[in-house]
Amino acid sequence: MNPVIRLNEVTAGYERGKPVIRKINLLVEDGDFLAVIGPNGGGKTTLLNVMLGLLEPWEGTVEILGTSPKYVRGKVGYVPQVIPGKSFPITVMDVVLMGRLIHAGIPGRFTKKDREIAVEKLNLLGIANLAQADMNLLSGGQKQRVLIARALAGDPRILLLDEPVASVDSTTQESFYNLLVELNHRMTIIMVTHDVGAISAHVKNIACINGTLTGHGAGISGESVSRTYGCPFELISHGPVPHRVLGGKHSREED
């Protein structure tokens, strides 16, 4: 048992009196590949923000690698959603170098080593030829690879991805999941997604979030989960993947 992420009774939200997630308990083991699924508004992104340290929990504690998220900046790689159509005058190389900011120091300049590492990560993702390309001219799948290269540039121990397949086609998705499985040999991966079709073949664990914690483990039947929490039961009832349920406002029914 070697948890890299430990959430204890975490309640958080943005508006006073309206918590988005309530009393969440979550343990993520080193080397895990966890998919966090759940309906829109169920708290997937809020959970991610709490784990990243971008949102302070109102109650409860968050430990990443045994300490507060603030002290492990750079050890957690973050891959945001690709926003289609967003234009910005920037090259691929400049984007990837952002993953070296914490190493370069502030202020300061990126060194030759920073650039070498950036190229190395682009190579790993098979897009080194795009290093000097205009980010705006890339396809959704290519942009996503650039953002992963950026997250990897700091050699993180944990990789957090927010809706990574939202703007790529299905062929790209398959190679993308294979890439994550490959990366999972070296780091813990947590992926927030509403794409439930493909994940069961690739991930090691699934957590379903919709508000508060109701239970976890394989003992919950898929159909009742679906009915009660709005989680996709096809995945849970058919999949061999162990899952946890982090949510639901009707916990009494479950008991």
Partner 1 sequence: MEILSYAFMQKALIVSVLASIAAGTIGTLVNVNRMSSLAGSIAHASFGGLGLAYILGLNPLVGATIFAVLASLVIGAISGRSAMKTETAMAAVWATGMAVGLVLIKISGTYAADLMSWLFGSILAVNTNDIIYAVLLNLLVISVITILYKEFLAVAYDHRFAMLQGVPVGLVRTIFLVLTALTAVLLMRITGLIMVIAMLSIPPAIAEMFTTSLRKMMVLASILSAVFSVGGLFLAYALDLPPGSVVILLAAACYAAALLVERLRSHWV
Residues that bind partner 1 (CB under 8 A): 52-54, 73-74, 76, 78, 80, 87-91, 94-95, 97-99, 101-102, 104, 106-107, 109-110, 134, 150, 154
Taking the complex as a whole, how short is the minimal distance between the CB of residue 112 and partner 1, in angstroms?
15
Put residue 60 in one of left, alpha, beta given phi > 0 → left and psi -120 to 50 → alpha.
left
CB 103 within 8 A of CB 131: no
> What angle (nearest 5°) sits at the alpha carbon of residue 245, between those of residues 244 and 251?
140
Q: What distance in Å separates the CA atoms of residue 226 and residue 147, rounded to the nearest whole number?
A: 33
Q: Of 4 and 236, which CB lies nearer to partner 1 in the complex structure?
A: 4
Taking the complex as a whole, how short is the minimal distance between the CB of residue 76 and partner 1, in angstroms?
7
As given in the structure block, the two tokens for residue 228 are: 């009660």
Q: Of 5 and 208, which CB lies nearer to partner 1 in the complex structure?
A: 5
Q: Of 95 and 236, which CB lies nearer to partner 1 in the complex structure?
A: 95
Taking the complex as a whole, how short is the minimal distance between the CB of residue 59 and partner 1, in angstroms?
21
Q: Of 112 and 185, which CB lies nearer to partner 1 in the complex structure?
A: 112
Taking the complex as a whole, how short is the minimal distance between the CB of residue 133 and partner 1, in angstroms?
8
Taking the complex as a whole, how short is the minimal distance between the CB of residue 246 and partner 1, in angstroms?
23
The alpha carbons of the chain give a radius of gyration, in whole angstroms, of 19
Number of helices (H), then strands (E), belonging to the chain: the values are: 9, 10
Q: Of 150 and 243, which CB lies nearer to partner 1 in the complex structure?
A: 150
Q: Of 78 and 177, which CB lies nearer to partner 1 in the complex structure?
A: 78
Taking the complex as a whole, how short is the minimal distance between the CB of residue 119 and partner 1, in angstroms?
17
Reported residue count of the chain is 255
* Phi, psi angles (nearest 5°) of residue 123: -60, -45
Taking the complex as a whole, how short is the minimal distance between the CB of residue 85 and partner 1, in angstroms?
13
| Inter-CA distances, 24 with 9, 11, 21, 58, 185, Å | 5, 7, 7, 12, 27
Q: Is the peptide bond before 89 cis (omega within 30 degrees of 0)?
A: no
Output the CA torsion sign for 45, 51, 55, 56.
positive
Reference 39, options 248, 254, 250; nearest CA is 248
Q: Of 109 and 252, which CB lies nearer to partner 1 in the complex structure?
A: 109
